[in-house]
Amino acid sequence: MGQTENIGRLIKIASNKLTTSLNYYGKQHDLTSTQMSIIDFIMNHPNKEILQSDIEKEFNIKRSTTTNLLKRMESKGLLKKVNSTHDKRQKKIIIADKATNLSNHIAQHLKGQEKLLTKDFDDEEIQLIISFLKKIINKEAK
C-alpha cells in the first residue's frame, strides 16, 4: 500500500492551526494556548495535588520548559507554588484567583474548539482518530 501523504507533516499542520486558533483567543487575556491548557488541566483535577511533574507528563514537555512556563504564569498572577502536603521537597501548583476567574471562559473555548475539530466525524471515526494519535504519541515517547 503506497503512502501519498506525509503523516508527520499533516499532524504538524493540524497542530499549528489549532495552536494559532487558541493563541488568537488567548491573546485577549494575555495567555498562550499552553497556559490555557495548563489552567484547564489543573481546574479539571480539583481534588488532586498537581505538581510540576504532573504537568510535564500531561503535556509531554521537558522539565526546563515547564519550569520557565510556570515561572511566567506565576509572574502573571495566574498560579502559585506552595509546599506539597505529601512531600515538602515538592511544590504543588495552585490556580490563583486571576486564572480561576478566566477558567470558565477557557473551558468553554476549549470545548468549542473540540466541537469544531470533531463536527465532521461520527463517534467511530473520532475514536479511531484518538486511537491513531495515541499510538503515534506512545511510539514517539520511546
What is the SS3 assignment for 21?
Answer: helix
Q: What's the pLDDT at 138?
A: 87
List the beta bridge partners of residue 93.
Answer: 81
Q: Which CATH architecture has domain 7-107?
A: Orthogonal Bundle (1.10)
Q: What are the φ/ψ torsions at residue 92 (nearest 5 degrees)?
A: -90, 150
**Domain ranges for the chain:** 7-107
Q: What's the pLDDT at 4?
A: 75
Asked if residues 84 and 49 have their Cβ atoms less than 8 Å apart, the reply is: yes
Q: What's the pLDDT at 141?
A: 52
What is the tens place of the pLDDT at every residue in 89-130? 888 999 999 999 999 999 999 999 999 999 999 999 999 999
- CA dist list (Å): 113 to 11, 22, 98: 16, 8, 23
Q: What are the φ/ψ torsions at residue 81 (nearest 5 degrees)?
A: -110, 125
Spans of the chain below 70 pLDDT:
1-3, 140-142
Number of residues that this document lists for the chain: 142
Q: What's the pLDDT at 112?
A: 95
Q: What's the pLDDT at 2?
A: 57
Q: What's the pLDDT at 88?
A: 84
Q: What's the pLDDT at 3?
A: 63
Residue with cell 490555557: 36
Which secondary-structure segment (H or E) carries 106? helix 97-118
Cα distance between residue 20 and residue 23, in whole Å: 5
The amino acid at 18: L
Asked if residues 84 and 92 have their Cβ atoms less than 8 Å apart, the reply is: yes
Cα distance between residue 29 and residue 105, in whole Å: 10
